[in-house]
Amino acid sequence: MFIIFFLGVTLFAGTGTKGSLVIIGGALNPDNHAIYNKFIELGGGKENIRIAVIPTASASPSKSGRSCVNDFVRYGVPETHIKIFPLAVKDDPSTKEVNEAQWSKNGSNKELAEEMRQYNAVFLVGGDQARYRETLIDAEGSDLPLLASIREIYQTGGVIGGTSAGAAILSDPMIISGNAVEAITGGVIFQKVPSGPEPKKKVRLTKGFGFFEGGIIDQHFIKRGRAGRLIPAVLFTQKKQKMSLGFGVDEDTAVVYRNHIVEVIGSSGILIIDTSKAKVKETQWGPKAENIILHYLEAGDSFYLKTREFLINPGRKKIKKGEEYYKKYPLDTNIFGKDAIKEILTAGLVDNCQDRSEGLSFTLDKEGSGIGMQFIFKKTDKTIGYFGKINGKETFSALHVALDFFPITISIKPAL
C-alpha cells in the first residue's frame, strides 16, 4: 500500500490486482522519453518486459507493427522480447511479401491466444479503432480468445498501452467518429456493430474494451478540437451507464492509469469533462446545458478517480486573484479550433482578471445562415489556476471551470 497527498487530503491506494494503462493521445513522438520509458518501467524494465504489438487498426499493419518494434528497441528493449501479433482487417497492397487479410480471423486463434499469455505488456497501434472492435469482439459483444488473453494480462498486473485508435478502444463505449462542430448539436448514435456509411452530424459510439473504467476516452484532443464530440458522448454515457467523466488526451501526451489514479505525462495536456451535476434541456436546435465542469491538466498532474481530488505538479504555483497576467480575452469564434479550448481555459480565464470567457461554434449554408452553439466558460468559487515555467516551457493547470452552452442561429450578410 502507498500513500498519496492530494491538495491536503491524504489518500490510501492499495496495490490492487489490476495492471496499468498508458493511454496515448496519438501523434507520439519517437523521442518522447517520458512515455516510452514509463511503459517499459510498468512492464518490469528493459530486461523483464515482454511486449505484444497489435497492429490491427493501421492501414499498414506490417509496417506499423515493425515501426513500433523499432521504437521500443531504440529504448533498450531486446528485439527478442517483442512480437507483432498478426491481426488485421484487410491487406496492405504495399507489402507484397505478406497478405494481411489472412490475419482477419486471428482474434479467434486459440494458439495465438495461448501464446499471448507469455507476454506482460501489450501495445495497440493507431489507425481506425473500429478495426479492433471488428477483430477482437464478437457480434454479441463478447471477448474473442485473443482479447480474453489480453484482458488476463491486465488483470494479473501487466501493462496495456495504446496510441490514438489504440487509446480510444480502451474505454467502453468508445468513440468511433464524429465532427465536433456538428456533433455538439446533432448528439450521439450508438451502434452495437458499426457498419454502413458514417452517420452525419453525430458522434458515433460502439462497444470498446473497457479496460479504463473511469470514463470515455477521446484522443488527438486539444490539437483537433474534439471537445464538441466528447461532451455529448459523456452526456450519453451518464444517462445510459451513470458514467459522467470524459478524458480528452492530447497528442504526444499520455494518461497513466493505475490504482484508480490518473497521471499525466508527455508534452501537452488532457481535459477532464464532468457532467455529474449538469443540467441539460433538449431543444429543436440542439441541447442547452449548464454546469458542465472542466479540468485541464498537464504533465506531472494527477487525478484520483474515487474522490475526484487533484495533485498538481509542484512546478506550477497557484495563480492568485488580482495577479492574473491577462486583462481580457476576445470572443473565440472557433472554439473547436486547434488549441482553442486550452487557450480559453488558461489565458482566457484562470490567468485572466475576467470571470468569464465566451466562444462560438457554427456551420453555415451557402446563403450565410446556420445553427451553432455559444459557450460560456465561468469561474466558480472552486476555480483554481496554476502556472509555472518547467524546463523553459510555460505550463498550466485549470480546475473546476464551469461551462454553459446553448444553441444559436447565425446569419451573415455583407456590410455593403
Domain ranges, ordered by start, for the chain: 2-302
Average pLDDT over residues 235-255: 97
pTM, to two decimals:
0.95
pLDDT over 70 at 163, yes or no: yes
Residue 339: the pLDDT is: 97
pLDDT in tens, 266-289: 999 999 999 999 999 999 999 999
User: What is residue 10's predicted lDDT score, i.e. its pLDDT?
Assistant: 34
**How far is the C-alpha of 144 from the C-alpha of 164, rounded, in Å?**
22
Using the predicted structure, report yes or no on whether residue 106 has a pLDDT greater than 50.
Answer: yes
What pLDDT, on the 0 to 100 scale, is given for residue 392?
Answer: 96
Q: Tell me the percentage of the chain whose pLDDT exceeds 90.
A: 92
Q: What is residue 12's predicted lDDT score, i.e. its pLDDT?
A: 32
Band (6; pLDDT cuts 50, 70, 90): very low
Q: What is the dihedral of CA 141, 143, 144, 146, to 10 degrees?
A: 150
User: Stretch 252-276: mean pLDDT, rounded?
Assistant: 98
Mean local confidence (pLDDT), 128-137: 97
| pLDDT at residue 17 in the model | 58
Q: What is the mean pLDDT of the chain?
A: 94
**8-41: burial string, b at 16+ Cβ within 10 Å, e else:** eeebeeeeeebbbbbbbbbbbeeebebbbebbbe
Please give the average per-residue pLDDT across 40-58, as a whole number: 98
Distances from the Cα of 412 to the Cα of 180, 331, 366, 376, angstroms? 22, 17, 10, 22
CATH number of 2-302: 3.40.50.880
| Paired sense of beta strands 302-304 and 309-311, if any | antiparallel
Q: What is the grid cell recorded at 109? A: 486463434
Q: What is the pLDDT of residue 414?
A: 87
